[in-house]
Amino acid sequence: MVVEKNTRRIESGIETDFSGRMDYGSYLQLDRLLSAQVPVSRPEHHDELLFIIQHQTTELWFKLILHELRAVRRQLRGDDLRSAMKGIARIKHIQHVLIEQWPVLATLTPAEYAEFRGDLGAASGFQSFQYRAVEFLLGNKNAGMLAVFEALPEAHRLLTELLEQSSIYDEFLALLHRRGYPVPEGLLDRDVRQAHVFEPALLPVFKEIYEHAHGNWDVYEACEELVDLEDNFQLWRFRHLKTVERIIGMKRGTGGSSGAGFLRKALDLTFFPELFAVRTEIGTDNG
């Protein structure tokens, strides 16, 4: 037998006959997945495949984030803080992957993107219903966004449901209340269709948790996990903004927005404002 150098021999126990059996490709439905990249530019521009795959993979990660956030919300409602924090830890790793994707898209130069940008029509990341769903679950509710998805019944239904349901922050505050922390009653029966806004009365609650961390360790740790979650989300938004600026400058977005200017305003949005504001209070005597 001739053994070629620099070649790994297939082990005798490795499966090779998949006739009539599920294999890797069929399990992952790779025939559907890998045929879903359909450039619209004519003639087809080389860099459009990058643009499509960047956005498709982002949507797949958003799908997993939504899956995890729903579980986190359910676990918080059931007082299972440990499992909820495990879910947030996973989401944080997903966020790191999403953040690290931006430099790949940033290899697309302004001239290259201009070659096929006009073929996108009005299609825009602004129309990502999964991104809006993530924002809703984190607490940035905006009923006005539903109008964008009126022509997409399933997306509209999902966002309507999430608009009318609690966010993970709502459930975290309710958990704190059940544990005896003095969370204001008004936050427990608030209109969850509205975005959460800064509540000064929460600052003493979080100040107590932070200044006596060892006696409140699990909720203290949960607070820091939520801060990490928002930090990562804001970093993703920032990298999005800078990538857009790098590729199209201050041009208007394909979906009609002001482009980079619109994205910059998103950096002012916050999910858990009290968890950041309390840092100014820690170590000060308010008595």
Binding region for substrate: 51-55, 113, 117, 254
Using CA atoms, how far apart are residues 196 and 277, in angstroms rounded to an integer?
14
Query: In this structure, which long-range contacts are made by residues 143-151, counting pairs with CB atoms below 8 Å and at least 24 apart in sequence?
Result: 143/193
DSSP for 89-127, please give it: HHHHHHHHHHHHHHHHHTTS-HHHHHTTGGGGTT--GGG
Q: Is the dihedral of CA 42, 44, 45, 48 positive or negative?
A: positive
Binding-site members are 51-55, 113, 117, 240, 254
Least Cα distance to 109 among 246, 269, 222 occurs for 246
Torsion of CA 250, 253, 257, 262, to 10 degrees: -50
CA distance readout (Å), 119 to 39, 177, 266: 9, 53, 27
Binding-site members for heme are 240
Least Cα distance to 57 among 25, 34, 27 occurs for 34
Give the list of residues 6+ apart from residue 202 with CB closer than 8 angstroms, or none.
Answer: 173, 183, 184, 187, 274
Give the list of residues 6+ apart from residue 68 with CB closer than 8 angstroms, or none.
Answer: 87, 88, 90, 91, 94
